[in-house]
Amino acid sequence: MRIIRNATILLAMASLAAACASGPASAPDKTAAPAQAPAAAPAGNEAKDRAKALVQGGGDAGSPAQPEASAAAKNPSPDQPAAAGQLTPEEQAYLDTYLSHLNYMVYYNEDAKVDPKLAKAAVSQANRYLIERLGLSVVDFDQIERNKKDQQTAYESETDGSIDLIQYLAQKLNADVYVEIDFALTNETRDSKYYASVQGSMKIYDTSTAALLGSIVLASQTAFSPNSAEAASTNAVAGSVWAAMPKMVAQSKELVKNSLARGIRFEVVVQKTPDSRQISQFRRALAKKVREVEQVSYSADSTKLYLYSFMKGDKLEDAIYDAAAAAGMNDLNLVYSRGKSYTFDSGM
């Protein structure tokens, strides 16, 4: 009995101690901060997720996962042009070589009332500078004059008057830059001596686009000749052209470079194009081989495209054949070319 009584006393004492430790339940405090206990579970989940990522080889298990790049960003469209101004080393090397070997065709403004002898003197002096100072090959005055007569029929057939004859010849002769000299003379005779001066300009054109790139002021100091007014005029023309040529060459290089942000422009015309879907396939195939493709026009008779690229003409022609084969146009063939303009027959 004593043992049972002692056990009962001990049990009562233990119950009293537990009640004192817990204390009375307090009333809810409306101003108390929200309970933070539920946040413990996410913390545990984050730890589990971090451990899981480390086991699976995650690069930074402590950082939230980044959204996956879109399919378009991973695989850009083949029709998307290369970013302007961003050239590959090969393209930059080609551009540097291209600019250092620009082909010039110099002629005079035929609308100006200039003595043909003085016009020839001006063109010849410009060509002399290009040959002697830069070591370039040129199209001389007499060659242009002959081509104006010989190419008249071909010019009318190929262009239907869409460009002027001189631009056509510049393209035909593969000139990169066409320079037009325009000037007027002032003559004076004093004390049986002859004086002349020149005022005018040199206009710089992109041969492919016929766009005016810029111009250089043409002016001379007063030239003198004791013999004749013609000699004084020739001296004035030759002196003014020679003095302007360094600036013209430097400016033309810079202007041409600035115009080539997208690439060198080639004009491609495909005759007989009745299947528009096949032409679309051809265009997309070309876009994989050049920097940019621009469709200018389409009809069942012909389609015109502008291709922008930094490659030689023969390489571009090969790329066109490859693109045509990929589009099922296996019978595509070159009809004629002039400079950077190509005309093909689709074979369809």
Give per-residue pLDDT as tens, 91-139.
888 888 888 889 999 999 988 888 999 999 999 999 999 999 999 888 8
- 235 Cβ contact list (under 8 Å, min separation 6): 196, 223, 224, 225
Q: Report the distance separating Cα 25 and Cα 122, nearest Å.
A: 111
The answer to whether residue 97 sits within a structural domain is no
Shared domain check, 335 and 241: no
Q: In what helix (H) or strand (E) does residue 337 lie, and over which residues does it extend?
A: strand 333-338
Q: Report the distance separating Cα 174 and Cα 186, nearest Å.
A: 35
The answer to whether residue 36 sits within a structural domain is no
Shared domain check, 110 and 252: yes
Backbone angles phi, psi at 258, to 5 degrees: -65, -30
The answer to whether residue 281 sits within a structural domain is yes
Shared domain check, 290 and 184: no
Q: Report the distance separating Cα 125 and Cα 141, nearest Å.
A: 10
Shared domain check, 273 and 232: no
The answer to whether residue 222 sits within a structural domain is yes
Shared domain check, 299 and 154: no
Encode pLDDT of 283-298 as tens digits: 999 999 999 999 999 9
pLDDT of 340 > 60? The answer is yes
Encode pLDDT of 222-261 as tens digits: 998 999 999 999 999 999 999 999 999 999 999 888 888 8
What Å distances lie between residue 303 and 269, 279, 346, CA to CA?
6, 8, 10
pLDDT of 207 > 70? The answer is yes
Q: Chain-wide mean pLDDT for the chain?
A: 80
CATH number for the domain that contains residue 209? 3.30.160
Say which residue, 61 or 177, is predicted with more confidence: 177
CATH number for the domain that contains residue 338? 3.30.1360
The answer to whether residue 39 sits within a structural domain is no
Decide: 305 and 283 in contact? Cβ < 8 Å: yes
Shared domain check, 224 and 117: yes
Residue 218 domain boundaries: 102-259
Say which residue, 43 or 263, is predicted with more confidence: 263
Instruction: Looking at the chain, list the stretches that DSSP marks H as alpha helix, in order from N- to C-terminal side.
Output: 2-22, 40-55, 71-74, 89-100, 116-134, 141-150, 152-159, 165-172, 229-259, 276-287, 313-326
The closest of 248, 162, 173 to 205, measured between CA atoms, is: 248
Q: How many CA atoms are closer than 13 Å to the CA of 272, on its beta-carbon side?
A: 11
Last residue within a domain, chosen from 259, 293, 311: 259
Decide: 315 and 304 in contact? Cβ < 8 Å: no
pLDDT of 14 > 50? The answer is no
The answer to whether residue 24 sits within a structural domain is no
Shared domain check, 215 and 134: yes
Last residue within a domain, chosen from 259, 285, 315: 259
The structure tokens 């766009």 sit at: 211
Shared domain check, 224 and 304: no
- 297 Cβ contact list (under 8 Å, min separation 6): 303, 304
Shared domain check, 183 and 140: yes
Decide: 173 and 208 in contact? Cβ < 8 Å: no
Number of structural domains, the chain? Answer: 2
Beta carbons within 10 angstroms of residue 248's beta carbon: 25
Q: Which two tokens stand for residue 86?
A: 């961003």
Beta carbons within 10 angstroms of residue 270's beta carbon: 24
Encode pLDDT of 138-181 as tens digits: 888 999 999 998 988 888 888 887 888 998 999 888 898 999 99
Measured at the alpha carbon of residue 193, what is the angle toward residues 188 and 196, in degrees to the nearest 5? 35
Shared domain check, 292 and 196: no
Q: Which two tokens stand for residue 295?
A: 């469709």
The answer to whether residue 76 sits within a structural domain is no
Last residue within a domain, chosen from 223, 241, 259: 259
The pLDDT value recorded for residue 45 is 52
Shared domain check, 111 and 248: yes
Shared domain check, 254 and 281: no
The answer to whether residue 16 sits within a structural domain is no
pLDDT of 24 > 90? The answer is no
Parallel/antiparallel/unpaired status of strands 212-219 and 223-225: unpaired
Beta carbons within 10 angstroms of residue 186's beta carbon: 13
